[in-house]
Amino acid sequence: MNRRTFLKQAAWACGGTAALAASGCGTLSGQAGVRSSSMLGFSAEPLKKIRIGVIGVGARGTGAVKRLPKIPNVTITALSDLREERVTLNQKILKDNGLPEAKGYSGSPEAWRALCESSDVDLVYICTPWWWHTPMSVMAMKCGKHAATEIPAGVTVDECWELVETSEKTRRHCMMLENCCYGENELLMLNLCRQGVLGDLVHGEGAYIHEMRASKWREEQEGGRQGRWRLEWSRKHTGNPYPCHGLGPVCQYMNINRGDSLEYLNSVSTDPFGLAPFGAAKYGPDSPEARIKIKQGDMNTSIIRTRRGRTIMLQHDTTSPRPYSRLNLISGTKGIAADYPLRVALEPDYHKWMDDNKLAELVGQYRHPLWRESGDKAKKAGGHGGMDFLMELRLCHCLQHGLPLDMDVYDAALWSSIVELSERSVLRRGAPMDIPDFTRGGWKTAEPLGIVTL
Ligand SMILES: NC(=O)c1ccc[n+]([C@@H]2O[C@H](COP(=O)([O-])OP(=O)(O)OC[C@H]3O[C@@H](n4cnc5c(N)ncnc54)[C@H](O)[C@@H]3O)[C@@H](O)[C@H]2O)c1
């Protein structure tokens, strides 16, 4: 890396919010040569009872506070938020459900540190804006707690390395809460892949296509979030800021980090057409909002090649008026499964999608055991149709039984690293960006991910 590249990279990393800068970005060198014991296949001592501290009890964290105590031997013992009233509201949720009061930590942007230090917590569950995920996960692990963080786990490659190195040094889990890996269709497809129905996997596609113009522009008094932190990100960054919903499931189908590895990507974005006019329409053509400069292109498309010669197409668009989709497509030497809506085509009838009856038969045969056994309970507990609860159920099951997690720190780092790498590539006319091997070669011998059951 020459000096100019280094300076450019440092400028990129520190170009975000003050909070991002405060989180220690800018130390882009220094990862190479770090060698600690690998966390691949790592299992911690079983935790019969799990005491959870939740940091960030806005929309997402409050959902978790409602769901987590439904899992046997799981208690929420601590709550933290910038806003005291959100902690109070969540205390009331616990009380209304006949659950013991949790300790509250609020009032300053650093109050969560005391939650990490407390002796009443085994797992820190993080639901704050993106740039807090790494500092909070790192602190949790340094305090001897396991960390589970919302997506993305880090917003720079440097942060991703910090997560890996801290997890390796502290021997604590760091899981990214990629709930889409537990969607009913995603787990069905994982099962199809594991049973060899699609043959050798060749190509996958994933996306986060979710129109969010109104929610990005929503003000606090309209129920908006945190001074519009998503809008702020769109003003300062381009590329794909939210790659994990699309990428995570495809990486699991392909056993990435456990037999294959992501090698490089090319990424391109459209111009930002949709977000500024929405502000102008809301506040008027002469308002300051109408003059906002948005950096993030509406549609971002990345192509990733793996070291075993496969490809993944990844998209992000939160500003175009179109139906929600994560694409969720996996294609192999014997057939293809695709989502939105669910479709399957197999040899020898690969030239057309299966009719409804055949598809229902296949779904019945390959429905994933987690959904078969716990799907009804999960739907009742809620969270994106049940997948959030299934993710939490499986996480707690692994912690309670001392099993390796389905998504480890290497997955968290790899999937999140696309945030920075896609932006770098976009800014260089789609130039290829090497993707770090966070396992440092461990992917060649790591155990493949199994079917994932309770
Ligand atoms: N996996 C999913 O399906 C999914 C869905 C929605 C959101 N998310 C992710 O969850 C996270 C939270 O999103 P949200 O929609 O709940 O946002 P939100 O703004 O509703 O909640 C964030 C909360 O974090 C608190 N917070 C901010 N800084 C803090 C600090 N320093 N200390 C303590 N608390 C702090 C805020 O006060 C707020 O209550 C984001 O990373 C988002 O991307 C994931």
432 lines ligand 1 (CB under 6 A): no
Angstrom distance (rounded) from CA 268 to CA 289? 27
> Quick check: CB of 81 below 6 Å from ligand 1?
yes
**Per residue in 422-435, pLDDT tens?**
999 999 999 999 99
Report whether 268 contacts 427 (CB < 8 A).
no
Task: Look at residues 194, 189, 155 and name the one whose alpha carbon lies nearest to residue 26.
Answer: 155
Query: Can you spell out the DSSP letters for 164-204?
Result: HHHHHHHT--EEE--GGGGSHHHHHHHHHHHTTTT-SEEEE
pLDDT score recorded for residue 89:
97
> Quick one: 361 and 384 in the same domain?
yes
- Do 61 and 45 lie in one domain? The reply is yes
Residue of the CA atom closest to atom 25 of ligand 1: 56
241 and 149 in a common domain: no
14 part of a folded domain: no
Whether the CB of 132 sits within 6 Å of ligand 1:
yes
Out of 30-34, 44-48, 259-263, pick the least confident. 30-34
pLDDT of residue 8: 39
Instruction: Compare 203 and 19 and report the one with higher pLDDT.
Output: 203
Same-domain status, 217 and 331: yes
The answer, yes or no, to whether any atom of ligand 1 lies below 6 A from the CB of 181, is no
22 C-beta closer than 6 A to ligand 1: no
How far does the centroid of ligand 1 lie from the alpha carbon of residue 56, in Å? 6
Give the pLDDT band of residue 452 (cuts 50, 70, 90).
confident
Residue 421 in 3-state DSSP? helix
User: Given a cut of 80, is residue 33 above it in pLDDT?
Assistant: no
* 386 domain-assigned: yes
Q: What is the pLDDT of residues 328-351, one digit of tens each?
A: 999 999 999 999 999 999 999 999
Domain of residue 321 covers: 181-444
Residue where the block lists tokens 């055991």: 369
What is the amino acid identity at position 326? R
> 50: helix, coil or strand?
strand
Q: What atom in ligand 1 is closest to the CA of residue 80?
A: 33
Q: Based on the structure, what is the number of domains in the chain? A: 2
450 found inside a domain: no
Establish whether residue 51 lines the binding site of ligand 1, counting it when its CB lies within 6 angstroms of any ligand atom. Answer: no
36 pLDDT tier (thresholds 50, 70, 90): low
Tell whether 168 and 205 lie within a shared domain: no
- The CA distances from residue 147 to 20, 121, 396, in Å, are 19, 11, 12
- What pLDDT is recorded for position 79? 98
CATH of the domain at 107: 3.40.50.720
User: CA 279 to CA 269: how far, in whole Å?
Assistant: 21
**Cα dihedral sign, 232-292-215-296:** negative
Last residue of a domain, one of 177, 205, 224: 177
**Within this chain, do residues 248 and 307 fall inside the same structural domain, yes or no?**
yes
**Averaged pLDDT for residues 101-122:** 97
| 189 CA → ligand 1 middle, Å | 29
Taking CA atoms only, the protein residue closest to ligand 1 atom 19 is 225
The span from the CA of 367 to the CA of 375, in Å, is 10
Mean pLDDT (the chain) is: 91
Together in a domain, 330 and 384: yes
CB 336 within 8 A of CB 345: yes
CA-closest residue to ligand 1 atom 21 = 58
- Does ligand 1 have an atom closer than 6 angstroms to the CB of 208? no
In a domain, 453, yes or no: no
Higher-pLDDT residue of 289, 220: 289
Of 154, 177, 200, at which residue does a domain stop?
A: 177
Q: How many CB atoms sit inside 10 A of residue 171's CB? A: 14
Residue-level pLDDT at 69: 97
Condensed to tens digits (0 to 9), the pLDDT of residues 343-377 reads 999 999 999 999 999 999 999 999 999 999 999 99
**CB neighbour burial string for 81-112, b if at least 16 within 10 angstroms, e if fewer:** bbeeebbeebbebbeeeeeeebbbbbeeeebb
Are 306 and 419 members of one domain? yes
Pocket probe for ligand 1: among 85, 127, 209, 390, the residue whose CB has the most ligand atoms within 8 Å is 127
**Cβ–ligand 1 contact at 324 (below 6 Å):** no
Tell whether 381 and 418 lie within a shared domain.
Answer: yes
For residue 84, give both structure tokens: 């005291």
363 with 401, same domain?
yes
Res. 2: pLDDT tops 60: no
Structure tokens at 394: 């499986």
Exposure letters 361-379 (e unless 16+ CB within 10 A, then b): ebbeebebebbeebbeebb
**How far is the centre of ligand 1, averaged over its atoms, from the C-alpha of 127 (Å)?**
4
- Please check whether residues 145 and 252 belong to one and the same domain: no
**Quick one: 228 and 309 in the same domain?**
yes
Does any domain span residue 16? no
Strand pairing class (300-306; 262-269): antiparallel
Here the CATH number for the domain that contains residue 249 is 3.30.360.10
Cis preceding linkage at 341, omega within 30: yes
Distance CA 318, CA 294 (A): 13
Cα 79 to middle of ligand 1, angstroms:
13
Q: How far is the CA of 395 from the centre of ligand 1 (A)?
A: 20
> What's the pTM value of the predicted model, to 2 decimals?
0.92
pLDDT at 226: 61
**Last residue of some domain: 145, 177, 209?**
177
In this prediction, residue 228 carries a pLDDT of 83
What would the two tokens of residue 334 be? 């014997």
Q: Is 86 in the pocket of ligand 1 (CB under 6 A)?
A: yes
Burial per residue of 201-233, b for 16 or more beta-carbon CB atoms within 10 angstroms, e otherwise: beebbbbbbbebbebbbbeeeeebbeebbbbbb
The pick from 17, 23, 81 for probing ligand 1's pocket by mutation, whose C-beta has the most ligand atoms within 8 angstroms, reads 81
